[in-house]
Amino acid sequence: MPVLEVLLVLLLAAWSAAGASTTQADASTADEDILLSEVYGGPHGDAFSDMSSISLGQTLSSITVRGDERVDAISVNIKTPAEATWDHGGSGGEENVLTLGTEEYIDSMEIHWGKKGGHTRVFYLKVETSEGNSVSAGEKTDDNARVTAPEGFQLSGFYGRAASEVDQLGAIWTRRSAKAAKLKDRMGTAWYGKKIRNWVGPSVGVAKDSACYRQMQFFNSSKRTP
């Protein structure tokens, strides 16, 4: 092969490798700016997620929790980069609103769950801010958890299951210092029926559905994914 052709092949290979490295680095950076809490509650209602609507660097103007004996609905109101409201649940219960200050953000939540009509549902929810303010609704139970944002993160949305009430709830945390960017479900849509695919492992291959993508997790030593 002439020397010129050899050099051309080597240059093309180097450019391809550089492009692959950049893509992997970008994906890794995005993953590090988004963290999900565990979900609490039961497997009833319809699956939902704010993931595909979240923008890194966004700010909240207020959060609303509706409830009485249990949590009926949760609403997140976005201030920037564009005003929006994300509602999950029904229309029952008393409305409780917390308006956030300019530099204030939500950094923790307390959640309680229990049985009603044979279904596990969210009975109580309290969210707290960086300034010590809070809003809550519902009634406390013996089964509960306190969820705190990792250092440097804030609440940007929720995921879980809901219908006329909130059946299951988890927090979506994003890094406060993250550069502004729109998050997009890598499968193209957030849902496949009423199911969320929580993890995508190497055994899945090319997915035949559009279930919600969260994060890739490779096999562990037991040849299993979470």
Mean pLDDT, residues 51-79 taken together:
96
Q: Can you give the pLDDT at residue 223?
A: 58
Tell whether the torsion through CA atoms of 135, 138, 140 and 146 is positive or negative.
Answer: negative
pLDDT higher than 60, residue 5 = no
User: Quick one: which of 132, 167, 130, 127 has its CA closest to 147?
Assistant: 127
pLDDT higher than 90, residue 60 = yes
β-strands 166-175, 34-36 pairing? antiparallel
74-113 residue pLDDT tens: 999 999 999 999 999 999 999 999 999 999 999 999 999 9
Q: Can you give the pLDDT at residue 31?
A: 60
User: Quick one: which of 168, 146, 151, 134 has its CA closest to 40?
Assistant: 168
Mean pLDDT, residues 175-180 taken together:
89
Tell whether the torsion through CA atoms of 191, 182, 105 and 60 is positive or negative.
Answer: negative
Mean pLDDT of the chain, nearest integer: 78
Q: Can you give the pLDDT at residue 11?
A: 40
**Which amino acid type is present at position 138?**
G
H or E, element range at 113 = strand 106-116
203-220 residue pLDDT tens: 444 544 444 444 455 556
Tell whether the torsion through CA atoms of 147, 150, 154 and 155 is positive or negative.
Answer: negative
Q: Which pTM was predicted? A: 0.70
Q: What is the dihedral of CA 20, 22, 23, 24, to 10 degrees?
A: 90
Query: Which of 11-15, 37-41, 47-51 shows the lowest mean pLDDT across its residues?
Result: 11-15
Structure token pair of residue 109? 């939540």
In this structure, the number of other CB atoms found within 10 A of the CB of residue 48 comes to 26
Q: Which is more confident, 71 or 200? A: 71
DSSP-derived letter for residue 39 is: P
